[in-house]
Amino acid sequence: QSALTQPPSASGSPGQSVTMSCTGTSGDVGGYKYVSWYQQHPGKAPKLIIYEVSKRPSGVPARFSGSKSGNTASLTVSGLQVEDEADYHCTSYAGGNNFLFGGGTKLTVL
Amino acid sequence: QITLRESGPTLVSPTQTLTLTCTFSGFSLSTNGVSVGWIRQPPGKGLERLALIYWDNDKRYNASLRARLTITKDTSRNQVVLTMTNMDPMDTGTYFCAHSPSEYRGYSFDYWGRGILVTVSS
C-alpha cells in the first residue's frame, strides 16, 4: 500500500488561514472515519491535534479543524500563529492491521 | 500525568536484533481498552506505525514488517518491549512509543515518548 499524499510545504502569514490536504484512496481515507493529524515541531514527538477526521482532543485550540471529502482529508489552521510553524502528518486506518501515514507537510508562518 | 520513555541501544549492527523498552507511568496497561504502540520515523521522513499491544494482550503488527516484529508487555513493571530482527541500515530512525486511551481504541495516540534515535551501521 502506498503512503498518503501530502504536499511537502504550505505557508501563511500570522492571522491567516491555511488548509493542508491528505489524499488517499477509497481503501483508506475514503473508507474509514479514522483519520488523524499530528503536529510535530523539530526534534520533538508528534502531538495529536485531530482524530476521527474532525474531533479535537482536549486542550487543542479550536483554530485547528479537520474535514474529509471523498478520498481527501484536510486540516485547516485558522488565525495562524508563529508557534503553528511545524510539520503536520496525516494518518488513516486502511483496514485489517494497516495504517498509512503521509510524508508530512511543513507549515511555514511567514 | 501520563509519561512514556523509550530506552535501548542507539547503535546496532546490520543483521542484529533490536530490543527497545517503553517504560510508562500515569496509566495502567491492564485498564480496559488502553493500548501502547510503537511508531518510527526515518531521518527527515514521515512516520510509520510498527506495532500495538492492547490491555488484553491483543497485538497488531505492520503487515510489511510482521515477520520481524514482536511486541510484549509487562503490566507489573509498566513496560512494553518491541523487538525487531535482522536490522538493516534502512531501519535507521527515531523510534517512539505512544499511549492510546480506550476511547481511541488504538487508532490514535495522545501521549508520546521523546523517542530514541537508533542507527543501524557496521
Q: 3-class DSSP state for residue A55? A: strand
Q: B49 and chain A: CB distance < 8 Å anywhere?
A: yes
Those residues with Cβ within 8 angstroms of residue A86's Cβ, 6 or more apart along the chain or in another chain: A39, A40, A41, A42, A106, A107
A51 contacts in chain B (CB < 8 Å)? 104, 107-108
Tens of pLDDT, residues A1-48: 568 999 999 999 999 999 999 999 999 999 999 999 999 999 999 999
Q: Would you say A60 and B110 are in contact if contact means Cβ atoms under 8 Å apart?
A: no
Task: Test A97 with B110 for CB contact under 8 angstroms.
Answer: no
Residue of B nearest to A42 (CA): B44
Q: Which residue has the cell 490514535?
A: B108
Place of cell 535482522: B86
Q: Tens digits of per-residue pLDDT, B41-56?
A: 999 899 999 999 999 9
When the pLDDT of each residue in chain A is averaged and rounded to a whole number, the result is: 95
List phi, psi (to 5°) of A85: -65, 115
CA A18 to chain centre: 12
> CA A30, CA A23: separation in Å to the nearest integer?
9
Nearest CA in chain A to B110: A48
The amino acid at B73 = K
Closest-CA residue of A relative to B107 is A34
What count of other Cβ atoms lies within 10 Å of the Cβ of residue B66? 13
Q: What's the pLDDT tens digit per position in B50-109?
A: 999 999 999 999 999 999 999 999 999 999 999 999 999 999 999 999 999 989 888 999
All residues at 6 or more sequence positions from A85 whose CB lies less than 8 Å from its CB, including other chains:
A107, A108, A109
- Left, alpha or beta for A25 (phi > 0: left; psi -120 to 50: alpha)? beta
Between the alpha carbon of residue B62 and those of residues A17, A55, B40, B70, the distances in Å are 35, 25, 11, 11
Q: Locate the chain A residue with the closest alpha carbon to B6.
A: A45
Q: How far is B20 from chain A (nearest CA, A)?
A: 17
User: pLDDT tens digits for B1-25?
Assistant: 999 999 999 999 999 999 999 999 9
Interface test with B, best of A91, A93, A105 (most B CBs within 10 A): A91
| Nearest Cβ partner for B46 among A48, A97, A101 | A101
The one-letter amino acid code at B17 reads T
Q: Which residues of B touch A47 (CB under 8 A)?
A: 112
Residues A47, B113: C-beta atoms closer than 8 Å: no
Contacts of B79 (CB under 8 A, 6+ apart): B21, B22, B23, B24, B73
